[in-house]
Amino acid sequence: MVNDPAGFLTTYLRVPPPLKVMQPFTAVLIKGKVVVPQQSEADSLLNDGYGAREGGLLVLEYAETLFNVERGKITVVDENTNASMSFSELLLVFLKADPKAWTRFLVYKDLRTRGFVARVGTDDRTDLVVYERGASRNEPPTIRVTIVSEGSPVNLDELLETTRSVECEGLQLKLAVVDRRGEMVYYGLTERKFGDIVNKIV
């Protein structure tokens, strides 16, 4: 069940998609993964900082898929029906696999529109990893992002452990707090400032 008390998600999905100015690339939803089969299209997306190679094919993460579908950059086809899937249809599929797919998309979109390259985190403690503007994904990320939804419980012990771990890696930790309207505020989180920041959000 999606937590959407303010009806923001419902309103968002009613907004018409942007006008398409070029023929979108085609991706296929195969067993829960979004794959770009055409090599030239896959190369173009990869060069723009989207996706990762798996067995020679480009696979897009959920946030990347939703972002590019919304922009009109790609169309996703269901392998079983051969029908194009709408933004809302994809979101519902992704939410079943990842309850945080919606908030990850919102923060991912915000970071991308600010000029950052971001990827979904590979561990349970950070939701996104972010690269400096202009950096390639061959370089190490400089920022890890943990997402907290307004009104949702926060495990402070886990958050403090994540803060310490990220500091030990020499990276920055940003806490993205997403409210019920889909707007977000970022806090730089360090062990020294942990108590002050937590008091603002809890």
Alpha-carbon distances of 40 from 17, 26, 110, 189, rounded to whole Å: 25, 11, 27, 40
When pLDDT is cut at 50, 70 and 90, the band that residue 16 belongs to is low
In the chain, DSSP assigns E strands to 25-30, 33-36, 52-54, 57-60, 74-78, 84-85, 117-120, 128-131, 143-149, 172-178, 184-189
Mean pLDDT of 39-49: 94
Q: Domain coordinates of the chain in residue numbers?
A: 8-97, 101-201
Computed over every residue of the chain, the mean pLDDT equals: 87
pLDDT, tens only, 142-190: 999 999 988 888 888 888 899 999 999 899 999 999 998 999 999 998 8
pLDDT, tens only, 57-79: 999 999 999 999 999 999 999 99
User: What CATH number is given for 101-201 in this structure?
Assistant: 3.40.1350.10
For 139, residues 6+ apart whose C-beta sits below 8 A from its C-beta are 131, 132
**Sheet with 74-78, edge to edge strand ranges:** 52-54, 57-60, 33-36, 25-30, 74-78, 84-85
**pTM greater than 0.85:** no
Q: Answer whether residue 202 shows pLDDT above 70.
A: no
Q: Which of 17-21, 41-45, 94-98 shows the lowest per-residue confidence on average (mean pLDDT)?
A: 17-21
User: What CATH number is given for 8-97 in this structure?
Assistant: 3.40.1170.20
Interhelix angle 194-201/156-168, nearest 10 degrees = 140
The confidence score (pLDDT) of residue 62 equals 95
The confidence score (pLDDT) of residue 196 equals 74
Q: Answer whether residue 45 shows pLDDT above 90.
A: yes
Residue 65: is it exposed, middle or buried by C-beta count within 10 angstroms (0-12/13-18/19+)? Answer: buried
Encoded tokens for 180: 């019920």
Q: Answer whether residue 100 shows pLDDT above 70.
A: yes
pLDDT, tens only, 19-39: 555 789 999 999 999 999 999
